[in-house]
Structure 1
Amino acid sequence: MNGTAHATIGAGVGFIAAQSVQAEPAGMMLLIGIGSVAGLMPDLDIDGKLTNKITFSHTLIRSVAQLISLMMIVYILLEETGTNRWVGVSIGAVIIIISSFIKQRHMLTVTGLGVFGGGLLLSEKWLILLGIYVIIASFVPHRSYTHSLLGIGYVAIIAYYLEVSLAIEGVFLACLLGYISHLLADMKILPFNKRGVKIFLPFSSKEF
């Protein structure tokens, strides 16, 4: 399944999450956006060891990296003030610019380092954890750890701290369900998937 489909499904899940908490229009749009981004997150591993063996869109990878940076900038503008605001925005802007020129293999690693640095600067646990996720994802094989229960558990922690930071009900649900929707859509139970997901890594390599 391609990135557009995953993003669309994630957005739909975000909409359901928004409905479940009876979010206001602005909150609904935020949850839809979070669900959409979360629906793309598992495929950040496409820039890892199998980059040269699997055919994926370089443009998609760059777009996801830039979208993460853009969301970080928006968050900083809304939540931070003074020097931290402008330093954080500058980091995000630099990541966006660099990702336009850097080679695919290193793009996500640099993005992850930037997000991690932004998290340290702002003392935001969810940003620090997200940066670590992106860095790790940029090195692991496709449909491995990011497509497992281990990945779901890690993203659940990110989602928890993101909801705490934003203080908006439904963020955790939209983020987690958006992520899970990607794994479900990649499973072999769907006839158009030739490969499945190794959901029980590292304990089992069996595809489902």
Structure 2
Amino acid sequence: MNGTAHAAIGAATGFIVANTFQASPSETALFVGLGAVSGLMPDLDIDGKLRGKITLSHKLIQMAAQLIGILMIFYSFYEGSAREKWLGLGIGLGIMVVAGFIKQKHMLTITGIGVLMGGISLAEIWLILLGVYIIIASLSSHRSYTHSILGVIFFGVIASKFEVSVGIEGVFYCCLGGYISHLIADLKILPFNKRGIKLLLPVSKIEL
């Protein structure tokens, strides 16, 4: 199933939750949006449809990192002591070399690290956990852990913390429902799916 269909099903799930909780028009719009996003989250994994949508070009990150490396070298030579000059040179060159190895496939991991650091900076548990989720997803094969019961539980914890943070009742069910709707839509028992999902990982690798 394509991303548009997953988003639509997730949005519908959010709308149902909004009606269940008799949400206001603004909250209903929020729930629909959260449901749509949550319905796409499992596809953040490797080769998933969503991973390329939320990341910047790796060339932009390469350029920024290389610029930082150059600036560090110049700064250390102008402002540092003899030892600091050589240390700055080494670190600057190291950054430039590492930047050269950054590929597009690494961008989701970098995004996850950024979200994680943002969560730490803001002291938001849900954002920290979301960063961890994105990092794990970036290293997981498609339709594996993000499409499993473990993935549902982990995302459920994120949704729970997010609801506490925003203080809007129903956010948890909206996010979790949207996420689960994706897994249901990817089940092999549905005639339009050639592949299923490994729902019971790591206990079983059988596709359902």
Place the TM-score, normalised by the shorter chain, in its bin: 0.7 to 0.9
Q: Tell me, in whole angstroms, the C-alpha distance in 1 between the residues paired with 2:7 and 2:54.
A: 11
Residues 178, 64 of structure 1: alpha-carbon distance in 2 compared, 3 angstrom cutoff: farther
Contact kept? 2:183, 2:197, Cα under 8 Å: yes
Contact kept? 2:45, 2:51, Cα under 8 Å: no
Q: Tell me, in whole angstroms, the C-alpha distance in 1 between the residues paired with 2:8 and 2:104.
A: 24
1:39 aligns with 2:30: no
Could you tell me which residue of structure 1 aligns to residue 122 of structure 2?
A: 122
Aligned amino acid, residue 104 of structure 1 = Q
Contact kept? 2:146, 2:152, Cα under 8 Å: yes
Map Cα deviations across residues 25-59 of structure 1 (whole Å, 9 max, x no partner): 1111111111111000001003xxxx4xxxx66xx
Q: Tell me, in whole angstroms, the C-alpha distance in 1 between the residues paired with 2:54 and 2:5.
A: 14
- Structure 1 runs of 4+ with >4 Å offset: none
Q: Tell me, in whole angstroms, the C-alpha distance in 2 between the residues paired with 1:138 and 1:131.
A: 11
Residues 65, 175 of structure 1: alpha-carbon distance in 2 compared, 3 angstrom cutoff: farther
* Equivalent position SS for 1:61: coil
Residues 164, 32 of structure 1: alpha-carbon distance in 2 compared, 3 angstrom cutoff: same
- CA RMSD in angstroms, aligned pairs only: 1.5
Q: Unaligned 5+ residue runs, structure 1? A: 67-101
How far did 1:103 drift?
4.2
How far did 1:65 drift?
4.5
Could you tell me which residue of structure 2 aligns to residue 99 of structure 1?
A: none
Could you tell me which residue of structure 2 aligns to residue 193 of structure 1?
A: 193
| TM-score of the aligned structures, taking structure 1 as reference length | 0.75
| TM-score of the aligned structures, taking structure 2 as reference length | 0.75
Q: Tell me, in whole angstroms, the C-alpha distance in 1 between the residues paired with 2:18 and 2:188.
A: 29
Contact kept? 2:43, 2:146, Cα under 8 Å: yes
Aligned amino acid, residue 117 of structure 1 = M
Contact kept? 2:188, 2:195, Cα under 8 Å: yes
Q: 2:53 aligns with which of 46, 57, 63?
A: 63
Q: Unaligned 5+ residue runs, structure 2? A: 57-101
Q: Tell me, in whole angstroms, the C-alpha distance in 1 between the residues paired with 2:119 and 2:40.
A: 21
Q: Give the paired residue count.
A: 163
Q: Tell me, in whole angstroms, the C-alpha distance in 2 between the residues paired with 1:168 and 1:114.
A: 26
1:1-208 → structure 2 map (5 Å cutoff): 1-46=1-46, 51=47, 60-65=50-55, 103-208=103-208
- Look at both structures and tell me which one has the larger radius of gyration over its CA atoms: 2
Q: Tell me, in whole angstroms, the C-alpha distance in 2 between the residues paired with 1:61 and 1:135.
A: 11
